[in-house]
Structure 1
Amino acid sequence: MATSPVYVFARWKVKEGKMQELLQLLTSLRMQTQAEEGNLFYTVCQDNSDANTLLLSEGYTSATAQQAHVSSDRYKKLAAGGIIPLLNEREVFLTTPIIK
C-alpha cells in the first residue's frame, strides 16, 4: 500500500503589532521543520491585501511525518507556546493531493 503525502494549508491572522515577534519564531520553526525527515516543503506568504494575514503551506511525505512534526518538542515550544498566542485567528487544512 502506497503512502500518500499530506499537505497542510493554514491562514493566520496576526495580532496588531505582533508580526515581527511572530516572524522571528516562525523563521526558526520553518528552518527546523525543513530539516525534519519527511518534510517536503514549508512556505510562508503574506496576503497582498492584508499585511497581518499569513498563508502557510507545508508538505510531508505521509500522515506519520506530519504527526511527528506537530508532536515534536520544537513545535510545542515555538508554535503552540510562542506563535499561536500571537494570532487572532488560525485556520488549518490537512489535505491529500489528488492531481499533481
Structure 2
Amino acid sequence: MKSSPIHVIAKWKVKPGELATVLALLPEVVKASSEEKGNLFYKIQQDNADPDTLLLFEGYRDEAAAAEHRNSVHFQTIVVGKIVPLLESRELNVTTPLTFA
C-alpha cells in the first residue's frame, strides 16, 4: 500500500508584543525543517489584516516523515520550547491531499 503525503496547516496567533521574537526564531526552524529528508515544503505566511497571525504550510512525504519532524531537536527546542509559550493560540490541521482525475 502506497503511503500518502501529509500536509499540515498551522495557524499561530502570537501574543501582543511577541511577534518580533517569534519572527527572529523562524528562519532557523524553516531552514532545519526544509532540510529534513521527508520534507516536501515548509512555508510561512503572515495575515494581511492581523500581522500577529501566522499561517504555516508544511508538506511531508508521509506520516512517518511528519512524526520525524515533530520529534526533531529543532522542533522540540525552538517551536515547542521557545515559540509556543509566545502564542495566544495554536491550531493545527493535518490533512491528506485529494487527487481528482
TM > 0.5 fold call:
yes
Q: CA deviation at 1:20?
A: 1.1
Alpha-carbon distance between aligned partners in 1 of 2:32 and 2:2, rounded to the nearest angstrom: 27
- 5+ residue gaps, structure 2: none
Paired-residue identity, %: 43
Alpha-carbon distance between aligned partners in 2 of 1:28 and 1:45, rounded to the nearest angstrom: 16
Number of aligned positions between the proteins:
100
> Aligned Cα RMSD in Å?
0.9
Identify the residue that residue 24 of structure 1 maps to in structure 2.
24
Identify the residue that residue 94 of structure 1 maps to in structure 2.
94
| Structure 2 length-normalised TM | 0.95
SS in 2 for 1:17: coil
Identify the residue that residue 51 of structure 2 maps to in structure 1.
51
Whichever residue aligns with residue 71 of structure 1, its letter is N
Identify the residue that residue 37 of structure 1 maps to in structure 2.
37
| Structure 1 length-normalised TM | 0.96
SS in 2 for 1:31: helix
- 5+ residue gaps, structure 1: none
Aligned structure 1 segments of 4 or more residues deviating by more than 6 angstroms? none
